[in-house]
Structure 1
Amino acid sequence: MSAQAPAAIFDQDAVRRAVDTALTDFLGLQCREAHRRGLPTQAAQALSSFLESGGKRIRPILCVAGWQAAGGTDTPAAVLKVAASLEMFHAFALIHDDIIDASDTRRGQPTVHRRISTEAAILIGDLALVFADELLHGAGLTSDQLRAALPIANTLHADTIYGQYLDISHTGRPPANAEQVLAITRYKTAKYTIEGPLLLGAALAGADPAVYSTLSAYGIPVGEAFQLRDDLLGVFGNPDDTGKAALDDLREGKATVLMALALHHATPAQHHALRRHVGNPHLSHADADQVRSILTDTGAHAAVEEMITQRRRSALTTLDTASLPPHITAALRSVAFSATRRTT
C-alpha cells in the first residue's frame, strides 16, 4: 500500500515571514537608491521602522490565500510582492489615519507624527502609497495578471480613501443611524482588509466568477465584523493589548455602529450625556466610564457583539457550501475567528 500524501496546509506564519522579508528587501533597496541619488534616506528608514513595529499582516496573508483559493500553487515571488504591496498601502493608511485622529500611540509606540513631525509623517505616508504602487507594478506579473489585478487594486485603494472621507465627515458628532455608519465600515475597512486582498490574490490566479463571488460573500461579513470588534476595543479594550490610548476613539467622537445604536436607544438623559462627552477632546476617565456604562445599559455593546457573531456565522456558512481547496477553507475559518475574537 502506498503512503498517502499529507494534506496541504496554509502556513500563515510562513507567509508572514516571507512578506516581511520582501518588505525589508524592498525598503533596503529604496534606502540605497536614495543614498546613491543624494536624497534623504530618513523617510524610507522611518517607514521601515514603522513596518517592523508590529502588525498582523492579515491583508498579505489573505492575498496569498486568494491566490491559492483560485488554484494558484505555492507562493511565487511575484505574488508575495503583490501581497507586500497591501501591507505598504496599509502603512500609508495607518500613518495618515493617526494624523487625522491625533493619536499618540500605535502598536504600543509613539505614532510617526509624534516621533518626528506631522509634516514629515504626511510625506512618509505619501511615500508608502508610492511604494505600494511600485511593489505592485514591479512584482514581475504577466500582462494578463497585471490587467486582472489593477482594477481590483485601484478600487481597493479608492474605496479605502472614500471610506476614510465618509468617516471624518461624521467625526465629532456621530449619527444615530447604524446603517449609515455600517456603510462607512464597509468601505473604510471591510473591503480593504478582507475582501479586497482575497480578490486581488484570486485575480492573479485567473479566478472564475464563482470564486470571486464566494470570496466576496465571505470577505464582506468578516471585514465588517473585524471593524465592529475594533470599535468595541477602541472603547472597552485594554490599552496594553490594543497598543492605543483608551480614550482616543471617544475623544475623537468616531462614528461607529456601537455609538449609533446607543444614541438610537438612549433615554433623553443618556442621549444628552453622550452628546456632551463623545467628541470632547478633554474627556476625563470618569466621563469615559459614564459613556461605557451608557453603551452597556442601552444594549449597544451586546447588540454589536451579536452583529459580530451573525457576520462570522454568515461567513462560515459560505465556506460550508463553497468549492475551495480544503486547506484554504480551513485557513479562512481560522481567520474568521481570529479577526472577530481578537483583543488587539
Structure 2
Amino acid sequence: MRRIRAVDHQAEAGARTVDADVAGAIGQVLDEVLGALLAEAAAADGLFTRDIAERVARFTLGGGKRLRGRFVWWGLRVCGGGGDVTEAALRLAAALELVQTCALVHDDVMDGAELRRGRPALHVEVRGQYGHHAGTGPSPRSAEAFGRSAAILAGDLALAWADDTVMATRFPARARSAVHALWRTLRTEMVAGQYLDLHGQVTACRSPALAVRTARLKSARYSVERPLLLGAALAGADDRATGALRSAGRCAGLAFQLHDDLLGVFGDPGKTGKPSGDDIREGKPTYLTAVARARARAAGDDRALGVLDAALGDPDLSAAAVDRVRDVFVATGARAALEDKVEILADRSAAHLADVRTADPAALRHLHDLLRATAGARPCSPPGGPPRAVAVASRGGER
C-alpha cells in the first residue's frame, strides 16, 4: 500500500510540474513524438522526408502557444485528473498540434495566403525551392501548382500523424471510448467548418446565422470546446462538470473566432503575422461582414452596401479600398457590436465555468484566465483571486 501511495504521489508531483509550464511540457512531448514519426518517414523515403515530413515537423514545432493542448490540460486538472494520465493528456495535446498544422497548411492553400506566422506559407516555401524546375520534364507543371499540391500532402501527413499519435496512446479503460469518440467528432467538425467557409465564399452568402455556424465548426469547437471535453473525459468527469466545460468552451470558442475576425481586418500585421484585410479580399463569410450588411440594409445605407459589394471577394483590392470597408464596419456599428459580443460571450463562459465543482481552485483560476484571454476579452477577476497575464497567440499564431 505504501508503494502504491508513493507512486501516486510521484505521479501527482509530475502533474504539478506540468502545471508550472504547460506549453513547455507539450513542446517536449511533441518533440519526442515528431522524432519517432520522422524516423518512420525516413524509412519510407529520404526525399519525401526532407521536402514534406521535415517541413511538417518544423511548422508544428515552430509556432503557436499550444492553446488547444493547454485546454486539454486544464480541462483535465479542474476535473481532478492528473498523475496517472499526464502522459496521455500531453500526447493528446501533441496530436492536437498536428491537427492544427493540417488546418493551417490547408487553409493557406485554399486562401492563397502568402504568409503564416510572419514567414512564407508552406506552399510558398516549396514553390520557391522548386521554382527553377517549373515547366520542364515530360509533364510540365507550374511551380505554383506544385507548391499547392505539396502543401496538401503535408497537411494530409500532419492529420495522419495526429491520428497515429492518438491511436498509439494508452488511455485508461474508463476514458478510452469517450476520448476516441470526441477525437472523431473534432476532426469531422473541423473539416465541415472549412467547407462552410469555402461555400460561403463561392455563394457570397452573408447570413449572420451561417457565419456563426461556420465559426463554431471551423474554429470554436476544435480550438476550445472539444479540447476541454477531452481533458474532462480523461479525468472521468461527471455530467455536471462536463456540461459546464462544454458550455464554457462553446462561448469562449465562438468569442475567439469573432475576435480573430476583428484581427483579420483591424489587426496589426506586425503582430498577427498576416496581411490585414485578406478576409475582405477572399470574400470570407465572417460574422463581422454579415452584421455590417444587415445593419446597412436596415438603415437603407446603399452607399455602405455598395462599398461592401464592390470589395468583398476582390483579390486585387487596394489598401485604400480596404480602408473604406473598415470605415463601413465602424460606421454601421458592426465593429462595436462584435466587440460587445466578445465581452458578453466571455462573461457567459466564466459563468458556466463557475458551475464546475473542483478540488483544485488554482486550476480553475488558470482555466478562467486562459478562456478569457483566448476570447480576446478584457481581464476580470477569476474565482478565488485576481486576474493574471496569460499568453495567447494572435491571429498569425493560432488562427
TM-score tier (shorter): over 0.9
* Per-residue Cα deviation, 1:207-228 (whole angstroms, up to 9, x for no partner): 2111110101100010000000
CA distance, structure 2, for counterparts of residue 174 and residue 338 of structure 1: 32
Residue in 2 aligned with 1:247? 277
TM (norm. structure 2) is 0.81
CA distance, structure 1, for counterparts of residue 250 and residue 353 of structure 2: 13
Residue in 2 aligned with 1:41? 49
Q: Which moved more, 1:166-175 or 1:250-259?
A: 166-175
The 1:185/1:118 distance shift into structure 2, 3 A limit, reads same
Q: Do the aligned partners of 2:206 and 2:285 also contact (CA within 8 Å) in 1?
A: no
Q: Which amino acid aligns with 1:115?
A: E
Residue in 1 aligned with 2:132? none
From 113, 122, 129, give the equivalent of 2:152. Answer: 122
Q: Which amino acid aligns with 1:31?
A: L
CA distance, structure 1, for counterparts of residue 64 and residue 197 of structure 2: 23
* Per-residue Cα deviation, 1:255-297 (whole angstroms, up to 9, x for no partner): 1110001111111111011010111010000000000000000
Q: Which amino acid aligns with 2:213?
A: A
How far residue 9 of structure 1 moved from its aligned partner, in angstroms, is 7.3
Q: Where do 1:54-69 residues align within 5 Å?
A: 54-69=63-78
- Residues 1:16 and 2:23 are matched in the alignment: yes
Residue in 1 aligned with 2:307? 273
CA distance, structure 2, for counterparts of residue 174 and residue 257 of structure 1: 13
CA distance, structure 2, for counterparts of residue 211 and residue 10 of structure 1: 24
Query: What 5-or-longer segments of structure 1 have no aligned partner?
Result: 1-7
* Per-residue Cα deviation, 1:138-157 (whole angstroms, up to 9, x for no partner): 11223443212111110111
Residue in 2 aligned with 1:213? 243
How far residue 311 of structure 1 moved from its aligned partner, in angstroms, is 0.2
From 156, 161, 165, give the equivalent of 2:186. Answer: 156
* Per-residue Cα deviation, 1:36-94 (whole angstroms, up to 9, x for no partner): 34453122210111112210211000011122222212462122111111111111111
Q: Do the aligned partners of 1:10 and 1:328 also contact (CA within 8 Å) in 2?
A: no
Q: Do the aligned partners of 1:70 and 1:207 also contact (CA within 8 Å) in 2?
A: yes
- Residues 1:283 and 2:346 are matched in the alignment: no
Residue in 2 aligned with 1:306? 340
CA distance, structure 2, for counterparts of residue 311 and residue 10 of structure 1: 32
CA distance, structure 2, for counterparts of residue 10 and residue 276 of structure 1: 54
CA distance, structure 2, for counterparts of residue 36 and residue 118 of structure 1: 25
CA distance, structure 2, for counterparts of residue 170 and residue 187 of structure 1: 13
CA distance, structure 2, for counterparts of residue 12 and residue 182 of structure 1: 33
CA distance, structure 1, for counterparts of residue 248 and residue 337 of structure 2: 21
Q: Which moved more, 1:180-189 or 1:229-238?
A: 180-189
Q: Do the aligned partners of 1:173 and 1:279 also contact (CA within 8 Å) in 2?
A: no
The 1:38/1:169 distance shift into structure 2, 3 A limit, reads closer
Other structure's SS at 2:21 match? helix
Which of these two proteins has the greater Rg computed from alpha carbons? 2
Other structure's SS at 2:354 match? helix
How far residue 335 of structure 1 moved from its aligned partner, in angstroms, is 1.1
TM (norm. structure 1) is 0.93
Residue in 2 aligned with 1:4? none
CA distance, structure 2, for counterparts of residue 210 and residue 337 of structure 1: 21
Q: Which amino acid aligns with 1:331?
A: H
Q: Which amino acid aligns with 2:73?
A: V
CA RMSD of aligned residues (A): 1.8
- Residues 1:112 and 2:112 are matched in the alignment: no
CA distance, structure 2, for counterparts of residue 340 and residue 142 of structure 1: 32
CA distance, structure 1, for counterparts of residue 98 and residue 67 of structure 2: 12
- Residues 1:99 and 2:109 are matched in the alignment: yes
Q: Do the aligned partners of 1:53 and 1:107 also contact (CA within 8 Å) in 2?
A: no
The 1:31/1:247 distance shift into structure 2, 3 A limit, reads same
Q: Which moved more, 1:292-301 or 1:40-49?
A: 40-49
How far residue 22 of structure 1 moved from its aligned partner, in angstroms, is 1.4
From 97, 102, 110, give the equivalent of 1:87. Answer: 97
Residue in 2 aligned with 1:5? none
Q: Do the aligned partners of 1:174 and 1:256 also contact (CA within 8 Å) in 2?
A: no
Q: Which moved more, 1:73-82 or 1:110-119?
A: 73-82
Residue in 2 aligned with 1:230? 260
The alignment covers a number of residue pairs equal to: 337
From 368, 374, 378, give the equivalent of 1:333. Answer: 368
